Structure formats: structure tokens, C-alpha cells
Structure 1
Amino acid sequence: MGPFGAVRGLPRLDRTQVMGVVNVTPDSFSDGGRWFDPDAAIGHGLALLAEGADVIDVGGESTRPGAERPDTAEELRRVLPVVRALAATGAVVSVDTMRAEVAAEAVAAGARLVNDVSGGLAEVEMLATVADLGVAYVCMHWRGHADVMQDRTVYADVVTDVLRELQDRIERARSAGVQPDQLVVDAGFGFAKTGEHNWELLRRLEELEVLGVPQLVGVSRKRFLGSLLAGPDGRPRAPDERDDATTALTTLLAWRGVWGVRVHSVRASRDAVAVVQQLQDRPSG
């Protein structure tokens, strides 16, 4: 994979970027609302920056299977103070939202990237809004909101189908005025996909390179890792006990030249990226 692409408004690095997750939600699968209070969320974001996060991704809506959506006013109440405070430190802040209004308000508060898990499908206004804002945009593969997405896991071939559907979203984004250097794609691990779909996408991730767009990979603490690591009783390992497996994937993804990884435990992934850099920095001659 690679080389690492330039994305508008973000630092260009010669390694995989590490995006740290700040969930300002009461019902996140990964941390159960630990950072729901704005001050706690800001503190957590600062801690992730201290661990070496390149980007902080602030989200006010849980997208775990079955989650209920907050209304727009509540989502804004959750994310804006956190985005504003973290951006004020000079941090590169992303807003994780499917709503055009939230995207616009967050960018006004200092966000430099819009991470839309719906790829512009949840709100028709999103693509034109991102074009007007002129900021980086993560376009993810998506087939429906959290309450229905696991009913939509049928693929002829998951990699081929995801590739085709992402290509359609990219074309629609560009038709709406989104420029090539604004775009990042995400295959949507865990969104309308079974565990085996996720593994197949990881095995064949290089096939998505034909899109010609940098890739963000978000597999941190996902359910398919919990299933892989299930105990003798068959129970999946708890989300906060999946970080070692997440770091293993970060190492492999960094070796393969993926543009970015979205993770909950930043230091371990930054360490993994540093190891890969050292191994790949072969002396000449």
C-alpha cells in the first residue's frame, strides 16, 4: 500500500497516522460512557494527545449495533465544547458525525476533518456541506443506521461489493464538489458486516487501493476481535481487553502502508508504528 497521501488541512507524515477516539456518548460499546461529561472528554482527548495521537476524533453519537440516535441539539451539546477546547490547543480535531449541521458547527469550532460513517447517505446535504467547508472528509462504507445495519450483511463478495459501493460514494462526493485531496475512505469494519466479512476485508485490503484515495482503518476493540479472543466458555472478550489484538492489527496495517488507524489506545499503536518505521528504514548501499 501507500505511499502516504496528502489530505487537505492535515499534516503529511511519512508513516501511518494514529487517530485517537473520544466518545462523548453515554452508550459507547468501547468505554460505556466514561467520557460523556465534557470535562472528562476534554481531559481524555488531552491524554490521547500526550500519548502521541495525530488526530482526535470526537463523536457524540454511538454507532454500536442497536444504538438509538440523539437529536441534533443533543449531539451539538455533546461535541462542540470538546471540539472547541481541543482545537484551541492546536490539536488536529475530527468530528465523527452523520449530520451536516453538526459538521458545519464543529468546523466553525475548529475541527479540520469530518468523519462521516454514513458516507453521505444519512443526510443528502452532507456532501455539499463538506464541499463548501473545504475540509478533509472520511467517507465510510455504510448500509444503514445502527438499528438496522446488521440485517444488511449480505454480499456476493464483500470486498468487491464494498469497493463498488465506495466508488459510488466517491463519485457522488466529487459530483457535489468535494475535491480529491479532501477524501479519505474507510471500509466500515463492523458496519453491516459479519466477523468473517471483516477478516476478509483485512486480508484483501490492498484491493481497495484502486480507489486512489487514502484509507482509514477502524478496527479498534471491535466485536470480531472479541469473538476471536473468546474464552473457554465462548464469551467474547470484553471491549477494553481487546487492545493487544488491536495493536497487532495496527502493526500489520502500518507495515502495509495504510494512511491511518482509528484507535482507543493511542500509545500502543504509536509504538507499533514506530517499530514498523524502524524496520522499514533500511540503510542504503
Structure 2
Amino acid sequence: MPVIVALFALFCAPSASAHGLFDGHLDERLPVLFSAVLLGAAWLAYIVGARRVRPHGWEAVWMHLAMLLAVLAVFGPIDDWAETSTSLHMVQHMLFMIVIAPLWALARPLPQWRAACGRWLQPVWNGVLRSGRYPVALAMLHGAMIWVWHTPSLYMLALENTWWHVVEHACFLFSAWLFWWSCLRANPQQVPHALMAMLLTLMHTGLLGALLTFGQAPFYGESRDLADQQLAGLLMWVPGGLVYLAGAGWITWRWLTRMWRRQHAGEARDPSVDNIV
């Protein structure tokens, strides 16, 4: 059913979209077709793997919701609108970084992907698992992707060249997924590092949002509206900051809950507690 919905979304995308699947010459469509194949393969692999390794709780719901949002963000009308509107371009980026990526982290798709792909991608899974031990390093990697792709030259390059547009999206999605996964799935020993990673990301994205908000000239070409750029900065600054704060709060709540459960379990096992008046 999720794949049917995704195909429906793809085929119903406006035919006039500059990055659409069915408009323009074949060489212009290749990057978009490549993106569609990658997303479709990842989604199908998850569905196949879920039959062998069943997801827990709401994990399957989070995964299908994230994939559907990814399809709509990449192939829906927002991608076309983002070419002329800085604020809508920011909406697309924020969907990747603070909606889809944390949903992927909550979904924990690695067991299903491993079950579907077998051993031939084992080095990739091992590398991803090892990288999750370093939340601050992944936050720095994700931060580098954010700042690099928001420099005027690369920002415009991604708008003018579809292949670079695909690379930009991949950098945001993959680095954000690793960042959120390492933070939201941090073990008790890694919680301080996860909170530091969240704080670091909150600070530098807020700074970039403030620069866009208070800029006195369009950063991405004179044809861009300054008020639209300022709105883009506010979107990164305020809603984005709230999401990172919510993530830090969830990590802290999860950590404290584990501590309370461990403490109560220790008191239940200690017979001397019953003798306290």
C-alpha cells in the first residue's frame, strides 16, 4: 500500500515541473530518475526485510511516513516552487533535516535493510553502526553539509544543475539521518555527547537562520526577494530550533526514565529497603 501511494504521488506530479520525472530531455531527467530508483529501492528493501525481521511498535509507521514525505519533498510541487522562492527552498531542506531524518532514526530500518540485502552490504551497515558512537562528530559533519550547501555559489549550483541538486538532497538526508540516529538512539554513556551534539546544531543553525533573517541584501541572486530570504531564515531559526530543543528534551526524558527504572529495580532487589522506617 505505501508503494502504491508513492507511485501515485510520482505520477501525479505536475508535468511542468523543472525537475519532474517526465518532462524535458532524457539527460535532464536522468538525475531525477536516479533519485526515484534510489528511494524506491530503499523503500522496497525495507518492505521485504520487514517480512523477515518484524519492526517493533510504531517503527514501520515512522518509516513509511518518512518515505512518503521524502517522495513528496523530492518529486512534489515544492521542489519546483523552491527554484524561485528561498523560503520554500528552506521548507524543503527543513523537511529533510528535521522531519524525515528523525523519523528514519525512530524507525530503525537497519535490521530490515540488512535482512533484505544480505551480507554483501555488511561493511556499509557496520560503518553506520560504528559512526553512531560519535554524536558530536556526526553533528559536525551534518553542520558542515548545512553551511557548505547554503553558501551562495553552491546554493545556486544546486538550482542550476540537477545532478548537483540530487547530491545536495543526499547530503542533507544522509548526514541528518546519521546525526538524529546517533542522538536519539544514544545509550546512557553517550547521552552527554548526544545533548552536546543537539546544542551545537541548535546554535549553528540558529546563527545561519539569523544571518538570513537580518541580511540586508539577497544572498542568492538579485532576483530573489529579500523578505522571502528573511522568512527562510526565520523558518530555520525558530521552528528548527524548537525541533532540536524537543529532541534534546526527549533524549533527557529517555535517559532519566532509564535511571528511575534502574533505581526502582535496585530498591526492589535490596531487602534492606523494606526495613527503612
Provide the TM-score with structure 2 as the length reference.
0.30
Richer in helix (by share): 2
Which structure has the greater CA radius of gyration?
2
Greater RCO, CA 8 A, separation 6+: 1
